[in-house]
């Protein structure tokens, strides 16, 4: 079954199936979403207007038995940042879309009325249906209702109330193998889907499958690739403690942003650490090891139960726990887990929203450390779409502007995540230069700056940080195109067998002969495509900067500031 482009026009409610253009054929995942957005979306359009497009794409290896290949990419012009945006997640949808023969789903236009719709994707194309039953429902109720209506095996991509209200931090939520949720969280793509009048997308591949050109070579490559992943010590730590293993590590480094980035260490770090969470999960009969998509061999996810041993949240990740915890000075894991549950149900980014609440705490809306107040804000304000709730749902930048706060940790209006750039300088370069606003996943220098993966580089020194971030951003853009989880990068940086095995997987899948240089060039071309879109949208090198307070306020315990000049940052694009 040849891959096709499935196109949906929400203005005239029409659908088409198109042959993949030659210039798109070598792309998947992020590479494809960014290529399509750059080709078809006017850079200066309103992100919630009719000229923006939402693009959903599986990766090059999605739908195959390749280990860790279940990531889904979604792209558009971001209503949060105004830049090009790709956000990805686990779940079942990427693999099922690929089995439908869908290389990309493009949703364009806007309905002329206030009617809501759902889209049903099969190998035969897309059907548009009016939707009433789950409108206004939270994600958990919607997934339960739809799984009963459609069958538990179908993939679902949905928006919660935040997406329906077109809040600029709204998620796309993706059903995972257990019927829970994973999120394409950053950049407000849920608001874009809401602006198209689409509540959910269902995916039924029927008997479809992904063809592999050379199965024998594919199996051999996959065996070597999976072995490299499971043998790496970081993979093993992630499988035991989840990504939250980082709380104590980053706190020790002095780079754990606390109380809206006023400190680099949190006195309550032990109470919210991965080690504490691991023990609590076991006590409450949860799961400390769990996969967010079929075929994951790292299994860094987990299922966290409440004090009654009942499900509360899954995929309870470091960045969310940091944002709801240390950044808001909350040291109660149950309050944090309840907040994570509410954010998943509302369909809104846990990083952006929690950092926005940290700014609101600085403004005196509630006090730092007020876990009950945090839950009230999410339930009574954001969940009900009040004026305050919509300000918080618009992200940290909106809160800072509304309350006159000057310490607002954003780049290109997107909240800075869980690593202080003064104490871990490489990640500051990534935040500044990322084409998609502050985002640690764009070039995860923590690997080398803190974890010693791919070598070592002093996090407090400026030396080599631009090159490190550049190389990792190039590699990440390529990885995001394969449908692979970013966490394969740890093994790829340290194990000489990992990257060649990944390339062999792609070659065996398509019957081609890519080289390592081809993969590097792919990453470079993606970054340049995204950068060109942003320049055409009106961004300049002056937007590649961190907020002023990072240069003015030393952060303890190292008492360091952000000390890169604009000229030094601008050398990033010299490739």
Average pLDDT over residues 554-570: 98
261 and 226 belong to one structural domain? no
Domain count, the chain: 3
CB neighbour list of residue 211: distance below 8 Å, 6 or more residues apart? 1
Closest Cα to residue 430, out of 419, 422, 442? 442
Pull the structure tokens for residue 325: 């915890």
Give a yes or no: residue 416 inside a domain. Answer: no
Interior/surface letters 397-432, b for 16+ CB within 10 angstroms, e for the rest: bbbbebeebebbbbbbbbbbbbbbbbbbbbbbbbbb
The pLDDT of residue 219 is 97
pLDDT at 112: 87
**Among residues 93, 102, 344, which one has the least CA distance to residue 202?**
93
**CA of residue 454 relative to chain centroid, distance:** 23
CATH number of 219's domain: 1.10.599.10
Mean of per-residue pLDDT scores for the chain? 96
Which residues share a beta bridge with 305?
311
pLDDT at 353 over 80: yes
521 assigned to some structural domain: yes
Instruction: Looking at the structure, tell me whether residues 226 and 286 fall in a common domain.
Output: no
pLDDT given for residue 1 in this prediction:
59
Q: Are residues 388 and 446 in the same domain?
A: no
Q: Which of 177, 203, 229 represents a domain boundary (last residue)?
A: 203
User: Is it the case that residue 325 has pLDDT exceeding 80?
Assistant: yes
Q: Is residue 225 part of a domain?
A: yes
Nearest CA to 423 out of 249, 573, 235 is that of 249
Looking at 362, 390, 410, which one is the last position of a domain?
410
Q: Are residues 237 and 191 part of one domain?
A: no
Q: How many CA atoms lie within 13 A of 546 on its CB side?
A: 28
Identify the CA nearest to 53 among candidates 5, 8, 88, 4.
8
Last residue of a domain, one of 410, 435, 457: 410
Q: Which domain holds residue 66?
A: 4-203
For residues 115 and 196, membership in a common domain is answered with yes
Residue at 404 is within a domain: yes
Tens-place pLDDT, residues 446-486 = 999 999 999 999 999 999 999 999 999 999 999 999 999 99
Residue 294, pLDDT > 90, answer: no
Contact 72, 89 (CB under 8 A): yes
- Would residue 223 count as lying in a domain? yes
In the DSSP assignment, the letter for residue 263 is: B
- Domain shared by 386 and 470, yes or no: no
Is pLDDT at 498 greater than 70 in this prediction? yes
Q: Is the pLDDT of residue 270 over 70?
A: yes
Half-sphere exposure of 259 (CA within 13 A, CB side): 13
Whole-angstrom distance, CA of residue 295 vs CA of residue 523: 25
**Same-domain check for residues 231 and 246:** no
79 is a domain residue: yes
Q: 539 in a domain, yes or no?
A: yes
Query: Phi, psi (5° rounding) for residue 327?
Result: -65, -30
CATH code for the domain of 158: 3.60.9.10
% of the chain exceeding 70 in pLDDT: 100
125 in the same domain as 75:
yes
Whether 267 has a pLDDT exceeding 70, the answer reads yes
* 340: Cα separation from own chain's centroid: 15
pLDDT of residue 209: 94
Task: Clarify whether residues 52 and 158 are in a common domain.
Answer: yes
Residue with tokens 């860790």: 68
Does residue 225 share a domain with residue 82? no
- Rounded to whole angstroms, the Cα distance separating 486 from 294 reads 16
Locate 361 and state its tokens: 């705490």
Residue 300 · residue 238 · CB < 8 Å:
yes
Tens-place pLDDT, residues 395-442: 999 999 999 999 999 999 999 999 999 999 999 999 999 999 999 999
Residue 285 contacts by C-beta under 8 Å, 6 or more apart in sequence? 305, 309
pLDDT value of residue 289: 84
User: Is residue 96 predicted with pLDDT exceeding 90?
Assistant: yes
pLDDT tens sequence across 140-196: 999 999 999 999 999 999 999 999 999 999 999 999 998 899 999 999 999 999 999
Q: Which of these, 533, 391, 395, lies nearest to 79 by C-alpha position?
A: 395
**Residues 167 and 234 grouped into a single domain:** no
Please report, for the domain that includes residue 317, its CATH number.
1.10.569.10
Q: Taking residues 245-263, report their average pLDDT.
A: 98
Q: What is the mean pLDDT of residues 213-224?
A: 97
pLDDT at 386: 98
Residue 415 lies in a domain: no
The answer on 387 and 477 residing in a single domain is: no
Handedness of CA 245, 246, 249, 252 (dihedral sign): negative
């Amino acid at each position: 079954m040849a891959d096709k482009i499935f196109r949906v026009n929400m203005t005239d409610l029409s659908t088409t199936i198109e042959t993949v253009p030659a210039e798109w054929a070598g792309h998947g995942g992020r590479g494809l979403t960014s290529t399509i957005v750059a080709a078809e979306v006017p850079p200066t359009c309103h992100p919630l207007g009719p000229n923006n497009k939402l693009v959903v794409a599986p990766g090059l290896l999605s739908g195959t038995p390749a280990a860790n290949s279940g990531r889904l990419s979604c792209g558009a012009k971001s209503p949060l940042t105004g830049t090009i945006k790709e956000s990805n997640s686990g779940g079942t949808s990427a693999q099922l879309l690929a089995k439908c023969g869908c290389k990309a789903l493009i949703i364009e236009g806007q309905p002329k009325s206030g009617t809501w719709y759902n889209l049903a994707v099969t190998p035969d194309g897309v059907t548009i249906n009016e939707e009433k039953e789950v409108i206004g429902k939270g994600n958990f109720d919607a997934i339960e209702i739809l799984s009963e209506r459609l069958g538990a095996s179908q993939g679902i991509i949905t928006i919660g109330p935040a997406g329906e209200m077109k809040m600029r931090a709204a998620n796309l939520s993706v059903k995972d193998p257990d019927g829970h949720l994973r999120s394409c969280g950053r950049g407000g793509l849920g608001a874009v889907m809401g602006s198209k009048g689409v509540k959910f997308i269902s995916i039924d591949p029927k008997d479809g499958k992904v063809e592999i050109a050379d199965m024998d070579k594919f199996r051999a490559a996959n065996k070597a690739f999976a072995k490299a992943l499971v043998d790496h010590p970081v993979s093993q730590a992630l499988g035991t403690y989840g990504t939250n293993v980082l709380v104590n590590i980053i706190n020790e480094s002095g780079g754990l942003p606390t109380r809206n980035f006023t400190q680099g260490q949190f006195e309550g770090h032990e109470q919210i650490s991965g080690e504490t969470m691991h023990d609590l999960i076991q006590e409450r009969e949860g799961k400390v090891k769990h996969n967010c998509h079929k075929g994951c061999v790292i299994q860094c996810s987990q299922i966290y139960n409440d004090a009654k041993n009942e499900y509360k949240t899954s995929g309870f990740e470091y960045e969310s726990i940091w944002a709801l915890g240390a950044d808001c000075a909350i040291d109660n894991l149950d309050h944090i887990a309840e907040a994570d549950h509410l954010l998943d149900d509302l369909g809104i980014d846990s990083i952006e929203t929690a950092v926005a609440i940290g700014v609101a705490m600085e403004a005196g809306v509630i006090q730092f450390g007020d876990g009950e107040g945090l839950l009230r804000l999410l339930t009574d304000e954001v969940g009900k779409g009040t004026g305050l709730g919509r300000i918080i749902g618009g992200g940290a930048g909106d809160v800072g502007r509304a309350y006159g706060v000057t310490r607002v940790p954003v780049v290109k209006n997107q909240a800075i995540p869980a690593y202080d750039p003064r104490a871990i300088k490489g990640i500051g370069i990534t935040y500044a230069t990322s084409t998609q606003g502050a985002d640690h996943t764009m070039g995860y220098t923590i690997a080398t700056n803190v974890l010693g993966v791919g070598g070592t580089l002093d996090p407090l020194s400026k030396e080599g940080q631009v090159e490190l971030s550049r190389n990792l951003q190039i590699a990440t853009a390529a990885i995001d195109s394969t449908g692979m989880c970013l966490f394969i990068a740890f093994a790829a940086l340290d194990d000489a067998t990992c990257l060649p095995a990944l390339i062999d997987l792609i070659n065996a899948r398509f019957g081609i002969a890519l080289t390592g240089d081809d993969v590097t060039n792919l990453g470079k071309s993606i970054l340049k495509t995204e950068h060109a879109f942003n320049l055409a949208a009106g961004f300049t090198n002056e937007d590649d900067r961190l907020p002023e307070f990072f240069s003015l306020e030393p952060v303890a315990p190292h008492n360091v500031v952000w000390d890169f000049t604009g000229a030094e940052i601008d050398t990033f694009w010299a490739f």
